Structure 1
Amino acid sequence: MDSSTPIQLVNWDLAASSAAKLAPPGPKLSPGEVAAVVENLRELADLSVEHVHRITGLEAARDLRDSDLVIVDRASWAKANTQSFKVLMAPAIEHLMRTKAEQLKAANAALGGSITGAQMGAILAFLASKVLGQYDPFGPSGQGKGGRLMLVAPNIVSVERELNVVPADFRLWVCLHEQTHRVQFAAAPWLKDHMLEHISELTVGLAGKADTLAERLSGALKSLPNRGQQDKEKHDDDGVPSSDGGILSLLQEPEDKARLSHLTAVMSLLEGHANVVMDAVDSSIVPTVKTIRRRFNARGKTRGPVEKFIRRLMGLDAKMRQYSDGAKFVRAVVDAVGMEGFNHVWERAENLPTEKEIHAPQEWVARMGL
């Protein structure tokens, strides 16, 4: 192979096309119905910003022109995420190219990134039918330095039909959660780079241990069926509650564990805060909100064994616990010092809670001097 041949560890184009082909079809809608859903989602997304501003008190909600709002299908969502993964994985790939150039050249000659691209596509195909919306701070935006908010129309329609809830109410409820994420990053413009830095450190750290990755991955897969009750809380040596985070949680050295702990705390904060906002509306805003929440929470009980295994493998159940843990933190802080006091969290990186503080909100309140 010519030494000038570029090394491509992941074929991102193949990942996007594989995800589009493998993702199950969405609900059947006529072109007119699709247009109506898209228009309605845009209207409700705009409407939800006013409620986010009223509930959070964050002035950033008044002007979100630094980011995009896009209504997407499953294939478009998958393609968008390959672009974001490419950004997130770039530091780790660059590290491998510097430290293991000869091995990578040989691997590239044989596989050309096709296997990893196909694997990434399979993961995104599974997720593409599950995600209702996503604020992606790392994706390109046509409006400036901000990211993009994606609402996955076929999935929203699919779930509202599955739950048999009022479409307009459910769509506004979803928009409240997703627009809150958009407002969070607008209120804390430093947060994107902060997260990118820590994600890069984590992926580079894992890439540095690539020689043993296959062995540890095999061990992780074998251990999944016998890792105890999914909903049983565990604690590490520092007293920090820890949950099954899927394969990633098994691939950590001590320094990796610390990095992941910080990112877990940040994600718990973001998801919990968004859940608090979406549940802060009453029946005057979303008339059937109680019915939606009850039926939405019950969805997990109807998942089949294969989906449950895949979700556990990918750490999606751990993500759901982040919603709950983060929401408890936000509610406890707001009860103690009000929303204005809680909003100190968006001022600087030092104000972000630790994973321990997520489970002990009073410690964060004390550290902030509130």
Structure 2
Amino acid sequence: MVDWDLAVTVGRRVAGDGPEVTRADAEAVVAELRADAARSTGLVRDFTGMVDADPTAPSAPVLVVDRAGWVQANADGFATALAPVIDKLADKNTSRAAQAVGRRVTGVEAGLVLGFLAGKVLGQFDPFHAPTGRLLLVAPNVVHVERELGVDPRDFRLWVCLHEETHRVQFTATPWLGDHLMGEMRALADSLEPSNLLEDGAGRLVAALRGRGDASVMDLIGGPEQQEIVDRVTGVMSLLEGHADVVMDGVGPTVIPTVKDIRKRFNRRRKGAGAGDRLLRRLLGMDAKMAQYRDGAKFVRAVVSRAGMTELNAVWERPEHLPSKAEIADPSAWITRVL
């Protein structure tokens, strides 16, 4: 259903190269990000008490990439993560000619999305990359944002690495987490009815384009069964993002002199720019992503305040301990159920 090679070609063209830097400066940025990621591992572990489930196993690699590399990595990741959904929606009765055209159309659409996001993302943990996942740091975007915000580059790079390295620790300390998320994707695929998706989705997409409500691409999925799965995934993602924000804010003041200034300026940037940018952010679910940072951080801080970091770590013990979307909004309910 998707021509991923075409998506990569389109995505790379849309993304562009990013800010101009000399070769020497580029090499210095790459080296510094790698060093900061390595340094962040110990800082995150000391603050959270989390360690790799199997210290002898190979750890998830850290890759410093450009925008084109991020596009390729995410096309590969999407192809894996979305395979169950795409297989469910594929029309086996469609002619080969129609399938070829459809694949190219969706390839272009996917490429446009990847190209837009490739200019925004600073870092990302890809849990679906075999065998251990991988951490991606997008060097051109880090340089672009630090220049745009006018912050100290060394401090900003370590600050970014603290957040992203927290994600790597989350998944290496909790090896079942990646399989759990993939299982949710399969459950979502099994519950989908393509005809209902197309009928209901069209109306929701029009409403989103007209600015009504908070509809995003994820909102096109449909009925209550699918929404229940999406809500479970939302709970997990809110935990992951909020936990990383709490860690970076907790560790930051001890190693980053300008962290308060960085956080203030970065929060302003998260709100987006013009109307077109805000529309794209809403359609792609980026507004919901921002809510995950905020709501997840409130959940983590509330649990740590009442029970401590060690007790919070019960959340990583088994899938049943993960908070639901409702518990993210009501930490006391999670504390009562799990602790």
TM-score above 0.5: yes
Q: Mark the runs of 5 or more structure 2 residues left unpaired by the alignment.
A: none
- Counterpart in 1 of 2:156? 170
Residue in 2 that maps onto 1:119:
109
Query: Residue 317 in 1 paired to residue 287 in 2?
Result: yes
**In structure 2, C-alpha distance between the alignment counterparts of 1:19 and 1:105, rounded to whole Å:** 25
Aligned equivalent of 1:41: 33
- Find runs of 4+ consecutive structure 1 residues off by over 6 angstroms: none
Which of 193, 197, 212 is the equivalent residue of 1:227?
Answer: 212
One-letter code aligned to 1:130: K
One-letter amino acid matched to 1:11: D
* Whole-Å separation in 2 of the counterparts to 1:327 and 1:104: 49
1:82 CA displacement:
0.6
Residue 166 of structure 1: CA displacement? 0.5
For 2:121, what is the secondary structure of its paired residue?
Answer: coil
| Cα distance between partner residues in 2 of 1:150 and 1:186 | 15
Give the TM-score normalised by structure 1: 0.87
2:133 corresponds to 1:147: yes
8 A contact 1:272–1:326 mirrored in 2:
yes
Task: State how far apart, in whole Å, the 1-side matches of 2:236 and 2:169 are.
Answer: 15
User: Could you tell me how far apart the structure 2 residues matched to 1:33 and 1:159 are?
Assistant: 16
Alignment of 1:108-257 (within 5 A): 108-109=99-100, 111=101, 113-140=103-130, 145-206=131-192, 208-209=193-194, 211-224=195-208, 225-228=210-213, 244=214, 246-257=216-227
Aligned counterpart for 1:289 among listed residues 249, 252, 259: 259
Q: How does 1:8-157 map to 2 (within 5 A)?
A: 9-60=1-52, 63=55, 65-96=58-89, 100-103=91-94, 105=96, 107-109=98-100, 111=101, 113-140=103-130, 145-157=131-143
Q: Please say if residues 271 and 327 of structure 1, whose CA atoms lie closer than 8 Å, have aligned partners that are also in contact.
A: yes
For 1:158 and 1:61, the matched residues in 2 are separated by 36
- SS at 2:2 equivalent: coil
Change (3 A) 1:204 1:16: farther
SS of equivalent to 1:134: strand
Q: Give the counterpart letter for 1:162 in structure 2.
A: E
**1:306 match:** 276
Identity %: 48
Structure 2 length normalisation: TM-score? 0.94
What amino acid maps onto 1:51 in structure 2?
L
CA deviation vs aligned residue, 1:349-368 (integer Å, no higher than 9, x gap): 01001111111101111111
CA spacing shift, 1:358–1:301, aligned 2, 3 Å: closer
Q: Given that residues 296 and 328 in structure 2 are in contact (C-alpha distance below 8 angstroms), is that contact kept between their aligned partners in structure 1?
A: yes
Instruction: Quote the offset at 1:22 in angstroms.
Output: 1.3
Structure 1 residue matching 2:111: 3-state secondary structure: helix
Aligned to 1:232: none
Give the deviation of 1:187 after TM superposition: 1.2
Q: Secondary structure at the match of 1:150?
A: strand
Letter in 2 for 1:15: A
